[in-house]
Amino acid sequence: MFCSHMKSLQLPISYPKVFGLGILLTLTGIAGAQTNSLRAQVRQARETSNRAIAERTVDAYAATVTSDFVITTGSGKTADHDAFISTLTKMFNSSDFGGCVRTPDRIDISFSKAMASERGHFRCKLQQSDGMELYSGTYLAMWVRDLAVWKTRSELFVTLACTGSAKCATPAR
């Protein structure tokens, strides 16, 4: 009855095509909701990482990165997990460290692997002998998901601005 009624209307799209389109839109909506949920999880993991830095808690920060974590700092130096955790421990124990906050601008979820890409900007403070150095720039992070927990696998920082100290005047190579 329903199909014969549709036929009498002479619609340009057949019932199977409309039904198929409906299923596709439903699945797309479900996938979109899942992607948004995964993005929210990565944002929450970033907030946890930022909080560990703000609270100067090395163990809490180390729990947010993988054991094979690597970083390229804004000055171009690279470090593996152990070297960076050692550096972070020294920074957290120094009164000169004024903090660092990373703010995501975009998070993309991989459809083929349990990974995500996060792009954003950062602002950090470091007390120098001649003033408070404020540096900022952009970053890219790779996240991996293991047993529903997101951890940072790698980070690349590019410092774009620095003010407050003569150390900022170091010429680019």
For residue 22, is pLDDT > 50?
no
pLDDT tens sequence across 126-138: 999 998 999 999 9
Per-residue confidence (pLDDT) for residue 171, from 0 to 100: 63
Per-residue pLDDT band for 165 (boundaries 50, 70, 90) equals very high
Per-residue pLDDT band for 33 (boundaries 50, 70, 90) equals low
Q: Which residue has the higher pLDDT, 20 or 87?
A: 87
Cα(150)–Cα(153) distance, integer angstroms:
9
Per-residue pLDDT band for 36 (boundaries 50, 70, 90) equals confident
pLDDT tens sequence across 52-98: 999 999 999 999 999 999 999 998 999 999 999 999 999 999 999 99
Residue 11 CB contacts under 8 Å (≥ 6 apart), including other chains: none
For residue 120, is pLDDT > 90?
yes
3-state SS assignment for residue 35: helix
Q: What is the largest CA-CA distance in the chain?
A: 85
Nearest to 61 by CA among 84, 41, 40: 84
- Residue 61's CB is within 10 A of a number of other CB atoms, namely 22
Contacts 24+ apart (CB under 8 A), 85-88: 85/58, 85/61, 88/58, 88/61
What is the number of structural domains in the chain? Answer: 1
Per-residue confidence (pLDDT) for residue 147, from 0 to 100: 83
Nearest to 74 by CA among 149, 172, 152: 172
CATH of the domain at 155: 3.10.450.50
Cα(10)–Cα(58) distance, integer angstroms:
69
14: domain range? Answer: 2-169
pLDDT tens sequence across 130-159: 989 999 999 999 999 988 899 999 999 999
Q: Are 41 and 33 in contact (CB under 8 A)?
A: no
Per-residue confidence (pLDDT) for residue 104, from 0 to 100: 98
3-state SS assignment for residue 79: strand
Give the global pTM: 0.78
